[in-house]
Amino acid sequence: MRAEKRVTDELPDWQTYSSDEWPTLLIGNGLSINLWSGFAYDSLFSEASDQGDLAGPAESIFDELDTTNFETVLECLHHARIVLKALGDDVAEVEATYGEVRDALLSAVSAAHVDWNDFPVPTHTAIATSIAEHDNVFTTNYDLCVYWSLLQSDPSVNTKDYFWNPGHDFDPANTNATAGTTLIHYLHGALHLWQSDSTGIDGKWTNADGGNLTRVLRNYSATSDKRPLFVSEGNSASKVRTISRSAYLSFCLDRLRDDEQNTVVFGHSLSTQDEHIIEALLDGKRKKIAVALRPSSRADAIIATKSRIIEALPGHTILFFDSTTHPLGDRTLNIG
C-alpha cells in the first residue's frame, strides 16, 4: 500500500509548472486585491460604513463576529433565517438585514473601485496577455479589472465574453466562438452586467450606454427594468439558486462543470461558501489543478490550506505554487 504524501508548507515558483499546458484559468478576488487594496474586505467594509450603507443591526453583526468579510455575515444571516423559520418566528427583519448587507457590498465595490484613469496601460497589458494564454477563463470577481484590461488590449488579444449580440445581451443559442478565442465567464456576475426583470435577458453595460462603469449603479432605479447581475449570497446553496435564475450565469457554471482541462486557480480560496465552484471542478475526468497560494511566515496556515483543498478535490492531481511568482501575482501590478 502506497504511503500518503506528507503535506508541507513548500510553495514552488510558478515556473516549476508553467511549461505544462494549462488551458483553463479560474480567478478569484486575490487578483483584484493584488491590483488595488480597496478591494480587500476590510477596505470594502470601511467604504460601506462611511457611506452609511451599514447601520444598526447590520453593523452590529460585523462587530459581534469580529469580521469585515461580507460573505461571513451573509452566511450567518442565512442560518439565522433558517433557525427563526423553524421556530415559527418572524424572519422579516433578518431578511431585510440580509438585503442591506448584500446591497452594501455591491455599492462598496462600485465606490471603492480604482478609476480607469489610474489604471496604467502596462498593467492592463500584463493582465490581458496572461489571461489570453488560456482557452477558458472563469472569474468570481465583481470588479471591472479583467474586463477593462481585455478592452484596453483589444485587438492584440482575442477574447470574448458571450455578450456579442448587437444589444450586448446574452443568447444561449449563440455561444460558439472562433478557434483561438479566449472565452471569459463571469461566474458570479459583475458590476457591468445586468438582467432584465421583464424578459429575464442578461446583458452588459458598456461605456457607450452606461457612462462611467464604476458608477453604473446610477443606471438602476425603482422603475428600472434592469437590475444588477450580481451573486453575493453568503453560502453556496443560495448562490446556486441565484445562478439558476440567470441563463448566462447558469451557462457559465455549466461550462466550468463540463471543463476537463488542466486548470490554474489564482486568487481563489475555494472556501465552503463557494462549494458549487469546488463541485464544478470535481466533475469530469482526472486533471491537474495548480492552486496559487500567498507565501506566509506561518507554515501551519499554509499546510492547513493545502490539506483543506486537497481534501476538497479528491481524484485530481493538486499542485501548489507561490502566487507572487505568477504573472498575475507580480507585485509590480499593484496600483495602490
In the chain, pLDDT over 70 holds for what percent of residues? Answer: 97
Nearest CA among 53, 127, 105 for reference residue 231: 105
For 41-91, what is each residue's pLDDT tens digit?
A: 888 888 888 888 887 888 899 899 999 888 888 889 888 988 998 999 988
Query: Helices (H) and strands (E) in the chain — how many of each?
Result: 12, 10
For residue 328, what pLDDT is reported?
Answer: 97
Q: How far is CA 130 from CA 127, 148, 211, 264, 315, in A?
A: 5, 14, 28, 12, 28
How does residue 2 score in pLDDT terms, banded at 50, 70 and 90? very low
Question: Is the model more confident about 214 or about 80?
Answer: 80
Widest distance between CA atoms in the chain: 66
For residue 313, give the DSSP letter: S
Contact in structure between 219 and 226 (CB atoms under 8 Å): yes
- First and final CA of the chain: distance in angstroms? 52
**CA–CA distance, 174 with 318 (Å, rounded to integer):** 34
